[in-house]
Chains A and B, each alone.
Chain A
Amino acid sequence: MWQLVLHRMAATIPVLFLVSAGVFMLIHLTPGDPIDVMMAESVDAGVKETLRRELGLDRPLALQYAHWMGRILQGDFGRSIRNREPVIENVGRRIRPSLQLAALAMVISLVVAFPIGILSAARRNSPLDGAGSLFSLFGICMPNFLLALLLIFFFGVTLRWLPISGYSDPFEEPLAGLRSLALPAVTLGLALAAVIMRTLRSSMLEALAEDYVRTARAKGVSEWRVIGGHVLRNALIPVVTVMGLQLGTLIGGAVITEYVFALPGVGRLVVDAVFARDYPLVQGVVLLIAVGFIASNLIVDLLYGWIDPRIRIR
């Protein structure tokens, strides 16, 4: 297994290199300039030039890239232009809410998707299955921002059960933290549950048609043991794949949900950085998100082996 890990980590290097070059070129070729944005009200061209020179923005792009890469190889991601703090510090502050939100959304989606998915597959074409399909259709079609605003309206404004926006750290203030994450986690969790539920249902239906299911039933194994012991385990591989991909998206891509609920997460950080043309911050965050994606895919690959001994690497 360690060989797999090492092998996969070696394969990451060219990927990260491509990502770094891509994001560097894209953000630098986008019209606009961080100093212009920061000093929009200032007419003082001299100050702007001083700042540009200090940040090295007046040098050729290739040189800037080489300089940036050189520092990254030494573990230095540079400093944000807007708030002049190290990129790592910016990300460190923002990654906690993002990870907590992603984890909570994952839990909610599993709790919702598994029972519905299993029941829908086991009682195929029943009214229950119909209701499950309706739920998943709703979850997939409902735009995030609309669901978020509806949840805010019902649970925040009308019922006043939960706070509308803001963030507290659940590890510092458990109750306030969970309350602040509840609505955004439900927003993300429901959409995710819909996808997982559909995947689970279809892969279970496939497994239900396998010979070993018939054998198990012929042996007299109870229907619920057939489903729980044989079918579910064999149906898990596609579900885990979907979850792995979604986890990566949740961490860097929950921008809209983070905006609506005023959650200080990574998604918002990167979008704000793009609008401010904060080059080092955009580059650093995108690179770190790419690392996160690769890591979650690696975990998925390792889970395959655990779920299905046949694909365990020797």
Chain B
Amino acid sequence: MPSNRPRTGPRAVSRRAFLRLSAFAAGGLTPLTSPGARRAWGQAAPAPKKGGTLRVGFYVEAATMDPHLSGSKVDRQVYHNIYEPLVTLDNKLGLRPGLAESWQQPDAKTIIFKLRQGVKFHDGTDFNAEAAKFNFNRMKTEPKSVRKGELASVESVDVVDAYTIRLNLRRPDAALLATLTDRAGMMVSPKVIQEKGAELERNARGAGTGPFQFVEWVKDAHLVLRRNEAYWSKSGGPYLDQIRYRPIPDDTVKLQSLQTGEIDVMDYVQPRDVAAVKADRNVVVVDVPSLADFAYQLNHTKPPFNVKALRQAVAYSVDLEQIVKGVWLNVGVPANGPIPPTSWAYDSGIPFIKRDLARAKAKLAEGGKPGGFSFTVTTNNIPLNIQEAEVLQAQLAEAGITMKVKLVDSATLLADGNSKSFEMISYQWSGRPDPDGNTYQFYKTSPGVSLNWSGISNPQIDAILDKSRETPRQADRKKLFSELTRLLQEELPMLFIVHPIEPKAFSPRVQGYDPVPDGMMRFREVWLK
């Protein structure tokens, strides 16, 4: 989604440091730096202990407790502690068993899940194949369900035996398993859904199977979870007695609350604050490379950007390194396309588009505008976006291109994007674990309302996107995504800018946090010193 705010950025994390982090995330050495990582080498890891309340500061309040109806990112932060998906992610974005112990695909259009036995919802009812089927049916048929699009490839769900379900697909969908690591794979107690109805949106008592259970949500004040004593996994966490979430909208104040010990965790640190925070001994910063992709969509359906050469002229005029260094304070890397360095599909062999003014001028002439042209960018009225627009403006001016800036709030940005009433528009996508989630819905020919705001319609790109869904092997899919990235650099539905880092900050008391690049804070193994 176009997130309401830039979420990224520690201090001067050098490009190399970022790539190293990404390598950890993608290639897999040890788990990423955890808050305990300041511990001297060689010292034995202290044993986790039970107890304590973890106080978490968020920028905005959750919208609903019903994962099937949820459309906002902040909800997911809470869900990942109350509910569990069938499949989970590790910190290298690998797929791990969640509520499904194992799975197999006898053919491209069938997935069979073996479900974990002995799992109970917080209301005491059993999690089993019937419950899983109930959840899938609800997501697919409930009129207000926001999960329908994510499960579009699922034709039907069969109960094979008490702990086995079979998903029958309409078409092959290589990205489906990764989709089931989030809300679309989260299992809610059928009894709670039937008894609570709409109340589930405000009160998730008894609804999940996760390491923590819902206690209360006092709107605008706090949301409290407590340890699930009957959690199915007997090794490791949960350790915390309670988790207490609080909305603190002002970034500076949230940071100060952390520094003075009023909260223990904050969801992200602004780039401008990272240097100060890293210098503070009372705070531990963890750089979490994200799945995000921040770019500008170029409108292919009307002048000036219906002309390919003019899109290219803009791309060759822009100096990404300068933007990432000057505006993003090196919190992220220049983007070569929509797929972030954290992904297995990222092709480090494809360089990002370099600035080349001579080539830009040649493209201007080719596009019939040798003297340059003028266009308007629509972007969010927040400091980071404004700075970025100013730098772009200056860079484009050197090529003779005049960029006007239209600042809007995020609701207007969405309206302009959905109605294609823009020339160039800021787009900040929070990212998905499978590269399909960063590509298909943006570049596939799709008439009507979709996230393909640019209106790109290219048969070659369409074919690659469809093929990537039908190709089961990851290595083969990776090749397809490399091919796609090269095509996107040529066709330019978007001007790719940066893959940001999403730094989180902790009190030094917080131990055992494992940063997964989807940015969700799972507290199952977290404990307090």
Question: A residues bordering B, Cβ < 8 Å?
Answer: 30-34, 36-48, 50-51, 54, 82-85, 90, 93-94, 149, 152-153, 156-157, 160, 163-167, 259-262, 264, 268, 275-277
Whether A36 contacts B415 by the Cβ 8 Å rule is yes
Whether B201 contacts A45 by the Cβ 8 Å rule is no
Q: Complex: how many Å from CA A82 to CA B61?
A: 11
Task: Report chain A residues within 8 Å CB of B149.
Answer: 42-44, 47
Whether A260 contacts B220 by the Cβ 8 Å rule is no
Whether B262 contacts A40 by the Cβ 8 Å rule is no
Whether B72 contacts A45 by the Cβ 8 Å rule is no
Scan B438-475; emit 1 where CB is below 8 A from any A CB, else 0: 00010000101111000000000000000000000000
CB distance from B338 to the nearest CB of A (A): 15
Whether B201 contacts A165 by the Cβ 8 Å rule is no
Q: Complex: how many Å from CA A85 to CA B146?
A: 19
- Say which residue of A47, A82, A259 sits within 8 Å of B63 (CB atoms): A82
Q: Complex: how many Å from CA A298 to CA B468?
A: 69
A84/B201 contact (C-beta < 8 A), A164-B256, A261-B253 known: yes
CB distance from A183 to the nearest CB of B (A): 11
A31/B220 contact (C-beta < 8 A), A38-B71, A41-B71 known: no
- B343: interface (CB < 8 Å): no
A32/B144 contact (C-beta < 8 A), A167-B221, A262-B249 known: no
A31/B415 contact (C-beta < 8 A), A51-B144, A157-B260 known: yes
Whether B262 contacts A165 by the Cβ 8 Å rule is yes
Interface centre among A32, A43, A276 (most CB of B within 10 A): A43
CB distance from A90 to the nearest CB of B (A): 8
Considering the complex, give the chain B residue whose CB is closest to the CB of A46: B148
Whether A31 contacts B1 by the Cβ 8 Å rule is no
Considering the complex, give the chain A residue whose CB is closest to the CB of B252: A149
Task: Report chain B residues within 8 Å CB of A165.
Answer: 248, 250, 253-254, 257, 262
Whether B250 contacts A47 by the Cβ 8 Å rule is no
Task: Report chain B residues within 8 Å CB of A264.
Answer: 219-221
Interface centre among B219, B254, B408 (most CB of A within 10 A): B219
- Say which residue of A36, A45, A50 sits within 8 Å of B144 (CB atoms): A50
- B12: interface (CB < 8 Å): no
Q: How large is the interface on B (under 10, 10 to 19, 20 to 34, 35 or more residues)?
A: 35 or more
Q: Complex: how many Å from CA A160 to CA B63?
A: 33
CB distance from A288 to the nearest CB of B (A): 17
Q: Complex: how many Å from CA A41 to CA B70?
A: 10
CB distance from A29 to the nearest CB of B (A): 12
Considering the complex, give the chain A residue whose CB is closest to the CB of B437: A41
Known pairs A41-B71, A93-B219, A163-B262; list 18 more (Cβ under 8 Å): A32-B409, A32-B412, A33-B414, A37-B410, A38-B72, A40-B1, A40-B71, A43-B149, A44-B146, A44-B149, A45-B450, A54-B144, A84-B201, A94-B220, A157-B260, A165-B253, A165-B262, A166-B262
Whether B411 contacts A275 by the Cβ 8 Å rule is yes
Task: Report chain B residues within 8 Å CB of A153.
Answer: 256
- B29: interface (CB < 8 Å): no
- B73: interface (CB < 8 Å): yes
- B143: interface (CB < 8 Å): yes
Whether A262 contacts B250 by the Cβ 8 Å rule is yes
A157/B220 contact (C-beta < 8 A), A32-B409, A32-B411, A38-B72 known: no
Whether A83 contacts B414 by the Cβ 8 Å rule is no
A160/B260 contact (C-beta < 8 A), A38-B72, A93-B219, A277-B411 known: yes
Considering the complex, give the chain B residue whose CB is closest to the CB of A149: B252
- B198: interface (CB < 8 Å): yes
- B77: interface (CB < 8 Å): no
- B33: interface (CB < 8 Å): no
Q: Complex: how many Å from CA A44 to CA B140?
A: 12
Task: Report chain B residues within 8 Å CB of A45.
Answer: 448-450
Considering the complex, give the chain B residue whose CB is closest to the CB of A36: B414
A50/B143 contact (C-beta < 8 A), A37-B410, A84-B201 known: yes
Whether A47 contacts B257 by the Cβ 8 Å rule is no
Q: Complex: how many Å from CA A299 to CA B149?
A: 55
Task: Report chain B residues within 8 Å CB of A36.
Answer: 411, 414-415, 418
10 nearest interchain CB pairs? A32-B411, A264-B220, A41-B1, A44-B149, A40-B1, A45-B449, A262-B248, A31-B412, A36-B414, A39-B71
Whether B412 contacts A43 by the Cβ 8 Å rule is no
- B512: interface (CB < 8 Å): no
Task: Report chain A residues within 8 Å CB of B257.
Answer: 164-166
Q: Complex: how many Å from CA A36 to CA B450?
A: 11
Whether B253 contacts A47 by the Cβ 8 Å rule is no
Considering the complex, give the chain B residue whose CB is closest to the CB of A53: B143
- B64: interface (CB < 8 Å): yes
Task: Report chain B residues within 8 Å CB of A48.
Answer: 449
- Say which residue of A42, A43, A50, A259 sits within 8 Å of B249 (CB atoms): A259
Task: Report chain A residues within 8 Å CB of B72.
Answer: 38, 40-41
A-contacting residues, B208-230, CB 8 Å: 219-221
Q: Complex: how many Å from CA A47 to CA B145?
A: 7
Q: Complex: how many Å from CA A40 to CA B259?
A: 33
Whether B256 contacts A156 by the Cβ 8 Å rule is yes
Task: Report chain A residues within 8 Å CB of B450.
Answer: 43, 45
A37/B411 contact (C-beta < 8 A), A44-B149, A83-B63 known: yes
- B491: interface (CB < 8 Å): no
- B246: interface (CB < 8 Å): yes
Task: Report chain A residues within 8 Å CB of B259.
Answer: 157
Task: Report chain A residues within 8 Å CB of B248.
Answer: 165-166, 262
Q: Complex: how many Å from CA A30 to CA B413?
A: 12
- B270: interface (CB < 8 Å): no
CB distance from A40 to the nearest CB of B (A): 4
CB distance from A123 to the nearest CB of B (A): 40
Whether A40 contacts B414 by the Cβ 8 Å rule is yes
Task: Report chain A residues within 8 Å CB of B411.
Answer: 30-34, 36-37, 275-277
Q: List 7 A-B contacts (CB under 8 A).
A: A43-B450, A51-B144, A83-B64, A93-B219, A160-B260, A164-B260, A165-B250
Task: Report chain A residues within 8 Å CB of B73.
Answer: 41
Task: Report chain B residues within 8 Å CB of A85.
Answer: 202, 219
- Say which residue of A33, A42, A93 sits within 8 Å of B71 (CB atoms): A42
- Say which residue of B249, B252, B415 sits within 8 Å of A33 (CB atoms): B415
- B367: interface (CB < 8 Å): no
Whether A262 contacts B246 by the Cβ 8 Å rule is yes
